[in-house]
Chain A
Amino acid sequence: MSTQTNLLATTRRSSTIDDVPTIPTRVLKGIILLLCCTVVIVPFIGVISTSIASQAHVTESGGFVLWPDSLNWASYRAIFNGGVVQRALLVSFVITLGGTLVSLAGSTMLAYALSRPGSFGQRPILMIVLFSILFSPGLIPNYLVVKEFGLLDSLLALVLPTAINGFNVIVLRSFFMSIPASVIDSARVDGAGDFRIFWSIVLPLSRAVLAVIGLFYAVGYWNAFFNAMLYISDTAKWPLQLVLRTYVINNTELSSGDLGGASADQLPPQESIQMAILVISLVPILIVYPFLQRHFTKGMLTGAVKG
């Protein structure tokens, strides 16, 4: 299978050589992409700069520094001081990894069951999945259900309620459905059962969408704080985002303002902390992303269909 993929990639590259786009097209594309990247990168440089700028510089430039005049790690030191954030990082890793596995397993199996034409009960189940996107339960009923299941203060409360996302299931299903019937039929002729077909044919052929949906779930778990805020009282079990949230309070306009907080200024400037938090929570995503990205930026799979 992998050799086939490689073969295909090579043929593609070689065959495109005699089909190079015109120079003006390439220049135009270059300009567009450069523009897009600049618009994104400049604020990000600002984010990093602000996180390491000195208090005076942050204040003088009105809260947002485009380029730091000095290196000041006070924000990072303040955040990692006390070991709370380190522990939360570990919790977040566990939830993200475990949660993504649970989600992918449940979602792909459900999506596959819904992708076989004419299978029993498909339509009602599909409607259940679809309507779950359109109706969302309220805060309090969610809490009571989690409480009744005895999941308060358990990490499972951060995984199970959000494990199956209807949107993701429907997207997975549509990808599974685009796998040619002939591939599946020929496997069936060879005597493979439904699960076998799912495991050794459908999943390997769907690496791209698995990478994407896996990323959707992983990012969802990584960024989630709301359920943890509601369900987890023991702060030792708080995920990173919830802990980091307590570092930035007085700056959000949604907050009511006066809850004391006078001495929060013993921390480095709020703006720096806010940006440092962002950097800290982005780093793991930046590390993981390239490994997943490989799977969805490269034409790879349909070579298997040939012949």
Chain B
Amino acid sequence: MLIDQARATDSGPPGTPTAERSAPPAGGQQLSWWARARRDKVLLLMAIPGLALMLAFHYLPLLGNLIAFQEYLPFVPFGRSAWVGLDNFSVIFNGDAEFLNALKNTLLITLVQVIFVFPAPIALALLLNSLLSERIKRVVQSVLYLPHFLSWVIVIAIFQQILGGSGLINNTLRARGIDTIDFLGNPDSFIALLTSQVIWKDSGWGTILFLAALTQIDQGLYEAARVDGASRLRQLWHITVPGIRGLIILLLILRLGDSLTVGFEQIILQQNLVGRPASEVLDTYVYNNGVLAGQWGVSAAVGLVKGLFGVALVIGANKVAHIFGEAGVYQKA
């Protein structure tokens, strides 16, 4: 008896999401909705507490995002604020050069981070997983997860202490009469800087979800592979990676849904160093041009647009995943 991941490795017909293979509960789709509701009443009851909390504390206040179409002032009740149509969206759609630059930076940073940041914890998890000693594995892992708990203010302070114009490295260089290096203020290397900071801070922490997924791979598969004389590399490629592929794709899709959001705090704390042209992203642009001016409606408007963009990306990416025979976030209707 093998589990899902095993199927993905052998000859499962492409185009069928693995998760859908589990047989539906007796009865299937032909039942009337009332009969299905009765059949699944326990499941529905189980969903209610979580769903109710989400509706009450997420979707109810989400109605407040209607202020995207208002000139909202906190001291005027919602119902009495002036409706201004799409005025608040003009910050996005007016085609301002600074805005386009911020959009370009945002997408570029997202692209670079998807390529370099996203795989880092996966690689690390696989590396840890390949260690023979359980002890070393745990010790290393529990060292690497630590930076996650530092706030950006502190991470950036540490980077400045070491790489800044008067940081450890540059002070040493200067004392020896060597030219100093501008690590933190160079607009050309800003994205590389951001990326390395994120990798440093969150890779170790990011491994835990993948490690959890690795524990779910049936160890019997490895034994069978070894009996067949498969090398460790082949085992990695044919058992381990497929075993966590579903999770990787799920997380990737969710990350894409967040494409327009790139570390606001991390960037705004360093904006002085590299200057706005290189570091302005969507969120900082909105902060500098809307929030700072007390325009609540503008933040709401941008939030809505970002959400819709995210929905489009998630649906699109999910479709692509289905084409490649993956489960994605949700299954085909």
Contact = CB atoms under 8 A, between A and B. Distances in A.
A–B contact at 8 Å CB threshold (below):
yes
A169 interface: yes
Given A135-B303, A297-B134, A252 B153 contact: yes
Interface in B36-56: 36-37, 39-40, 42-44, 46-47, 49-51, 53-56
B22 A177 contact: yes
A74 to B, nearest CB: 20
Contacts of B289: none
Interface in B51-110: 51, 53-65, 67, 74
A117 B24 contact: yes
Given A125-B51, A134-B310, A209-B212, A302 B218 contact: yes
Contact of A174 (B36, B46, B147, B246): B246
Contacts of B53: 106, 160, 163-164
Pick the 8 closest A-B CB pairs, nearest first: A141-B64, A110-B50, A181-B22, A137-B61, A141-B61, A118-B24, A113-B47, A64-B161
A135 B49 contact: no
A117 B331 CA distance: 10
A247 B53 CA distance: 34
B200 A299 contact: no
Contacts of A44: 146-147
Interface in A264-297: 274, 278, 281-282, 285, 289-290, 293-297
Interface string A55-68: 00000001110100
Given A145-B61, A285-B149, A297-B211, A178 B216 contact: yes
Query: Taking chain B's interface residues, is the majority helix, strand, or loop, or is none over half, making it mixed?
Result: helix
Contacts of B54: 128-129, 132, 164, 166
B146 to A, nearest CB: 6
Given A16-B132, A170-B254, A178-B216, A194 B296 contact: no
A161 B44 CA distance: 21
B66 to A, nearest CB: 9
Interface of B: 1-5, 19-26, 28-29, 33, 36-37, 39-40, 42-44, 46-47, 49-51, 53-65, 67, 74, 124, 127-128, 130-132, 134, 136-138, 140-147, 149-150, 153-154, 157-158, 161-162, 166, 168, 200, 204, 208-209, 211-220, 222-223, 226, 232, 246-247, 250-251, 254, 257-258, 268-269, 272, 296, 299-300, 303-304, 306-307, 310-311, 314, 327, 329-331, 333
Given A109-B46, A142-B64, 7 more contacts: A62-B166, A113-B47, A117-B22, A174-B19, A174-B246, A252-B153, A295-B215
A182 interface: yes
Contacts of B211: 208, 212, 296-297
A133 to B, nearest CB: 7
Contact of A278 (B51, B140, B154): B154
Contacts of B257: 133-134
Contacts of A105: 49
A215 interface: yes
B37 A299 contact: no
Nearest to A145: B61
Nearest to A307: B1
A190 to B, nearest CB: 14
A138 B61 contact: yes
